[in-house]
Amino acid sequence: MKVGLLGLGTVGGGTAQLLLEKKEHFEELLGAELELTLAADLDASQKESLGLDDRIFTQDASRIVGNPEIDIVVETIGGMKVAKDFMLEALSAGQQVVTANKALLATHGREIHATAKANQTSVAFEAAVGGGIPLIRSIREGLLANRIESCMGILNGTSNFILTRMTQDNAPFEEVLALAQKKGYAEQDPTFDVEGVDAAHKLAIITSLVTGDYPSLEDIHMEGISKITPLDIQFANEFGFTVKLLAIMKNKGQKVQARVHPALVPHDHVLASVDGAFNALHITGDWVGDVLLYGLGAGREATASAVVADVVDLARDLLVKSRGRVPALGLAKSRGEHLELAPMEETSCQYYFRFTAADEPGVLAKVSRILSEHNISIETVIQKGRRSEGSVPIVMMTHEAVEKDVSAALARINALPQITEPIMLMRKA
């Protein structure tokens, strides 16, 4: 079984190293040789450190893509257009493809999987969601006897690291973000991680596996963690919650919800204890009940582990002359069509509000009246002492309410002259 590798960055370099170091182990698993035949990258600086000689290393990707002697093409270059073009060309040429490119699959998954199906090839993408955690295989194969009712997870290690340190150190977002960048957990431009985009890419892939259809990223509600303050984390703790950035999918039959936002997780829920850069996905199936998958969601070793597992899996199929044994989304009769998600305004849950108000009589009464007029009832209220500038924080947990009503009520409350800062909102998981 001959493998061609595109890209020798963090994940690609780890994949090359793993394929070379454990070559004998993979031969024992397969009963056949698994050979890294060619590895391509425009940058030759890592060639020697990875142990790649001139027979393996190339700067010409065309020696791999479309080459009939290469059985499996591994794409780890990232990005969109070039990666997409290489993948489509490889699939059209009958090559099997492994990728860790979540953004590409979330955006162009329908076209990529359709090309694979038309050419009786396969796209394996375990490493695209959850790094080394076997999420894709678990949903697509391990839980296939179930109707998946919900998936709720921490799918971005950077945001989870930041929230963990904010909680433990009572430190502001900007300070902890700088620490995450120093440690290498966050990019210099951390937008994709801290604003929920990365988690939304992964949620789109999970949702497609559960439903058999492809949601548009534009339809997934996204909120990040940059507005969370230590004060919110403290109040959440008083109510009995831990703040996490969650990706949530709820499969309600005719309607499917998919959203990413900061959420209040009860202290006794398993996701509340997932700290640092770790990821976890809590799955509920109609027969299996609750399942938790947990581990490192990123990093050289964990992600390379998932990439190589896909390579071995596809090699096993080829050895028995099988192609497309497991459909891309796990459903042989998958329509592979656009999935229309339930609008965010229909979401129903409990809400956390933090109002910063002038220290005047009657403010709480005005706020409560507006909430009542929009069918929102208050479960608990905490009011702390006056700040130095004369304002007071008022924090509420509501009973279950509808997003549409909440949006309308908060728009009115924000317009009150006594409200001195934009209202902070979080939802209960």
On whether 9 is known to bind a ligand per the annotation, the reply is: yes
Domains with residue ranges and CATH for the chain: 2-132+300-336 (3.40.50.720), 136-296 (3.30.360.10), 345-428 (3.30.70.260)
Over range 341-352, report the average pLDDT.
97
Over range 36-45, report the average pLDDT.
96
Task: State the Cα–Cα distance between residues 103 and 199, nearest whole angstrom.
Answer: 10
Residue 256 has pLDDT above 80, yes or no: yes
Residue 153 tokens read as: 């997870």
Over range 361-382, report the average pLDDT.
95
48, amino acid identity = E
pLDDT tens string 197-227: 999 999 999 999 999 999 999 999 999 999 9
Q: What is the reported pLDDT for 389?
A: 67
Q: What is the reported pLDDT for 385?
A: 65
Q: Which residues are catalytic?
A: 202
Q: What is the reported pLDDT for 335?
A: 72
pLDDT tens string 294-341: 999 888 999 999 999 999 999 999 999 998 888 888 887 777 788 999
Kindly indicate the confidence band of residue 384, based on its pLDDT and cuts at 50, 70 and 90: confident
Residue 388 has pLDDT above 60, yes or no: no
Residue 212 tokens read as: 């058999």
Q: What is the reported pLDDT for 387?
A: 62
Over range 130-150, report the average pLDDT.
95
Q: What is the reported pLDDT for 83?
A: 98
Mean of pLDDT over the chain: 95
CB contact set of 174 (below 8 Å; sequence gap of 6+): none
Q: What is the reported pLDDT for 391?
A: 86
pLDDT tens string 65-85: 999 999 999 999 999 999 999
pTM beyond 0.85: yes
Instruction: Name the CA dihedral angle for 181, 185, 189, 192, rounded to a multiple of 10 degrees.
Output: -150
Q: What is the reported pLDDT for 383?
A: 84
On whether 12 is known to bind a ligand per the annotation, the reply is: yes
Residue 277 has pLDDT above 80, yes or no: yes
Assign 3-class secondary structure to the chain: CEEEEECCCHHHHHHHHHHHHCHHHHHHHHCCCCEEEEEECCCCCCCCCCCCCCCCEECCHHHCCCCCCCCEEEECCCCCHHHHHHHHHHHHCCCEEEECCHHHHHHHHHHHHHHHHHCCCCEECHHHCCCCCCHHHHHHHHCCCCCEEEEEEECCHHHHHHHHHHHHHCCCHHHHHHHHHHHCCCCCCCHHHHCCHHHHHHHHHHHHHHHCCEECHHHCEECCCCCCCHHHHHHHHHHCEEEEEEEEEEECCCCEEEEEEEEEEECCCHHHHCCCCEEEEEEEECCCEEEEEEEECCCHHHHHHHHHHHHHHHHHHHHCCCCCCCCCCCCCCCCCCEECCCCHHHCEECEEEEEEEECCCCHHHHHHHHHHHCCCCEEEEEECCCCCCCEEEEEEEECCEEHHHHHHHHHHHHCCCCECCCCEEEEEC
Task: State the Cα–Cα distance between residues 176 and 170, nearest whole angstrom.
Answer: 10
Q: What is the reported pLDDT for 386?
A: 64
